[in-house]
């Protein structure tokens, strides 16, 4: 193959981060994307902003992220947290494209209608009739990507996003548990107000589409928190957009000439507040996976295993974080909405108590200089994918040496004092007593 033609479907955070990562590896990349069809605001943590900067998506983002005071009303208690950034998705999505273009990626505006794939090539037909060809396809159309088979699907959720214009004021956000779901709400400095209720779409009897704005307005009327944040302006029916928010893990996330990233691979429950973070996580590893599939055919299985297992582990981690947050709500625990979610996806804890005797050294796929390779890593119940480096230092030789009976002092002897202290602290956190 000459220079492979890589086409990315979708210019959200996952498509954008993958495009820039592939450019950094020297590939020519095209992105084709439609625009999101509704106005939305989402909440992210400082960690997401750092991830976006790291992915090369940070410069314009600075305009889209607004720090806001955050309140949490959960299980009958009120907390004030200072940590949320409100992301105006219209600004954010447009800023993403600027970053992607600046990195030298061609962005085609259009809606993908059909994708025809074979083992060697892909043909993508747009709504305007234009046909694009590619050797490699990155599926990043988010929740709108074709589902394929699901590996795992959480309880069915629908989120009703309501938007109205209120008075300008300090940016705020809040989350509140309800008897049969939960609501997230925010006000931007210019007075745009958002209220989003998430309910079980399987068991909740919702009115017809035309009656939904009135139904949501009635529900807002019943909330003291809504009255506190927005006043009576929130009680009027408003513009509404309904979207599915069921947690979904796709079956196969990678083939020999395609890969899924972001929500197309794994869409998490919005309660975790981590959707953009997980999209970035899968997109940051994807360029090395694509590079390996294109340049090292002998490592196709390794690259596929790497991408698939990481997506699955990430999905399960966020699903369990969501589960534990649902379980904190005790007042209405018996309601089907809460009862279903407090035990899904399983009963396994997010973290297992550290136990050094459970650690072992094993060979696992890792990213080495932009390619998926194999290396000896430290595997344990809490780290099934393995730890290769800690602050740039390989830890497998250390664990191997200790398990073979060598003294810690001997193993650390030739290292600088700062590194020794860091490794000792890491070993202690792994349950090593020595
Ligand atoms: P997307 O951001 O969805 O990007 C996909 C892109 O593909 C879009 O530009 C779309 O227009 C384009 N596209 C789709 N179909 C086509 C097509 N046929 N042709 C061409 N282009 C197409 N995450 C958070 O971090 N914080 C939150 O507060 C939060 N709240 C959420 C609330 C709800 C109700 C939901 C459903 C999700 C929420 N998320 C939140 C999750 C977050 O929106 C996603 O995880 C994230 O945007 C996924 O990024 P992505 O790049 O995979 O997909």
Are 88 and 29 in the same domain?
Answer: yes
pLDDT of residue 1: 62
Q: Whose CA is nearest to atom 52 of ligand 1?
A: 262
Q: Is the shortest distance between the CB of 11 and ligand 1 below 6 Å?
A: yes
Residue at 377 is within a domain:
yes
Q: Is the shortest distance between the CB of 386 and ligand 1 below 6 Å?
A: no
Residue at 351 is within a domain:
no
Q: Is the shortest distance between the CB of 112 and ligand 1 below 6 Å?
A: yes
Locate 165 and state its tokens. Answer: 């214009």
pLDDT of residue 47: 87
Long-range Cβ contact pairs of 354-361 (< 8 A, separation 24 or more): 354/382, 354/429, 354/430, 354/431, 355/380, 355/381, 355/431, 356/402, 356/427, 356/430, 356/431, 356/432, 356/433, 357/431, 358/431, 359/399, 359/403, 359/430, 360/399, 360/403, 361/396, 361/399, 361/400, 361/403
Final residue belonging to a domain, choices 220, 244, 268: 244
b/e string for 384-413 if b means 16 or more Cβ within 10 A? ebbbbebeeeebbebbebbeeeeebeebbe
For residue 198, give the ligand 1 atom closest to its CA.
Answer: 34
Are 118 and 89 in the same domain?
Answer: yes
Are 239 and 264 in the same domain?
Answer: no
Residue at 225 is within a domain:
yes
pTM: 0.96
Residue at 347 is within a domain:
no
Residue at 339 is within a domain:
no
Are 304 and 225 in the same domain?
Answer: no
pLDDT tens, position by position, 225-273: 999 999 999 999 999 999 999 999 999 999 999 999 999 999 999 987 7
Q: Is the shortest distance between the CB of 275 and ligand 1 below 6 Å?
A: yes
Average model confidence (pLDDT) for the chain?
94
Are 236 and 261 in the same domain?
Answer: no
Final residue belonging to a domain, choices 244, 266, 297: 244
* Domain interval for residue 26: 6-66+84-149+249-329
pLDDT tens, position by position, 94-133: 999 999 999 999 999 999 999 999 999 999 999 999 999 9
Q: Is the shortest distance between the CB of 246 and ligand 1 below 6 Å?
A: no
- 176: domain CATH number is 3.30.70
Q: Is the shortest distance between the CB of 159 and ligand 1 below 6 Å?
A: yes
Distance, first Cα to last Cα, the chain: 54
Q: Is the shortest distance between the CB of 84 and ligand 1 below 6 Å?
A: no
- 129: domain CATH number is 3.50.50.60
Are 97 and 124 in the same domain?
Answer: yes
Q: How far is the CA of 208 from the centre of ligand 1 (A)?
A: 25
pLDDT of residue 273: 78
Are 59 and 37 in the same domain?
Answer: yes
Q: How far is the CA of 413 from the centre of ligand 1 (A)?
A: 50
Are 312 and 164 in the same domain?
Answer: no
- What's the structural domain count of the chain? 3
Final residue belonging to a domain, choices 201, 220, 244: 244
Which stretches in the chain have pLDDT values below 70?
A: 1
Q: Is the shortest distance between the CB of 380 and ligand 1 below 6 Å?
A: no
Q: How far is the CA of 263 from the centre of ligand 1 (A)?
A: 7
Are 134 and 14 in the same domain?
Answer: yes
């Amino acid at each position: 193959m000459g220079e492979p033609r890589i086409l990315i479907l979708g210019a959200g955070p996952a498509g954008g981060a993958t495009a820039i990562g592939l450019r950094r590896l020297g590939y020519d990349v095209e992105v084709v994307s439609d625009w999101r069809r509704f106005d939305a605001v989402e909440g992210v943590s400082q960690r997401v902003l750092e991830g976006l900067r790291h992915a090369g998506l940070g410069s314009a983002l600075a305009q889209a992220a607004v720090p806001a005071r955050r309140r949490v009303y959960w299980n009958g208690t009120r907390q004030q947290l200072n940590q949320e950034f409100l992301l105006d998705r219209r600004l954010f999505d447009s800023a993403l494209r600027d970053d992607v273009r600046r990195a030298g990626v061609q962005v085609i505006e259009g809606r993908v209608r059909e994708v025809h794939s074979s083992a060697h090539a892909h043909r993508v037909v747009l709504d305007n009739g234009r046909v694009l060809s590619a050797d490699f396809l990155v599926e990043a159309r988010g929740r709108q990507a074709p589902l394929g088979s699901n590996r795992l699907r959480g309880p069915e959720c629908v989120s009703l996003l309501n938007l109205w214009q209120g008075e300008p004021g300090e940016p705020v956000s809040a989350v509140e548990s309800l008897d049969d779901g939960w609501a997230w709400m925010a006000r931007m400095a210019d007075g745009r107000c958002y209220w989003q209720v998430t309910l079980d779409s399987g068991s909740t009897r919702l009115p017809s589409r035309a009656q939904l704005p009135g139904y949501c307005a009635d529900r807002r009327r019943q909330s003291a928190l809504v009255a506190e944040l927005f006043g009576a302006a929130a009680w009027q029916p408003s513009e509404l957009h309904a979207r599915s928010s069921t947690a979904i893990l796709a079956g196969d996330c990678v083939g020999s000439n395609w890969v899924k990233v972001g929500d197309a691979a794994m869409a998490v429950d919005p309660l975790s507040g981590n959707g953009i973070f997980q999209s970035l996580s899968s997109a940051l590893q994807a360029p090395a996976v694509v590079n390996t599939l294109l340049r090292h055919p002998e490592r196709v299985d390794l690259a596929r295993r790497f991408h698939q297992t990481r997506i699955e582990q990430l999905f399960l981690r966020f699903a369990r974080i969501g589960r534990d947050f649902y379980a904190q709500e005790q007042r209405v625990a018996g309601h089907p909405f809460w009862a279903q979610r407090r035990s899904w996806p399983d009963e396994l804890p997010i973290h297992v108590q550290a136990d050094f005797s459970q650690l072992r050294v094993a060979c696992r796929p890792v990213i080495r200089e932009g390619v998926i390779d194999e290396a000896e890593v430290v595997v344990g119940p809490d780290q099934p994918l393995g730890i290769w480096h800690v602050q740039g230092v390989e830890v497998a030789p250390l664990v191997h040496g200790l398990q073979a009976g060598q003294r810690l002092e001997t193993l650390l002897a030739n290292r600088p004092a700062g590194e020794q202290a860091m490794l000792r602290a890491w070993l202690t956190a792994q349950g090593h007593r020595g």
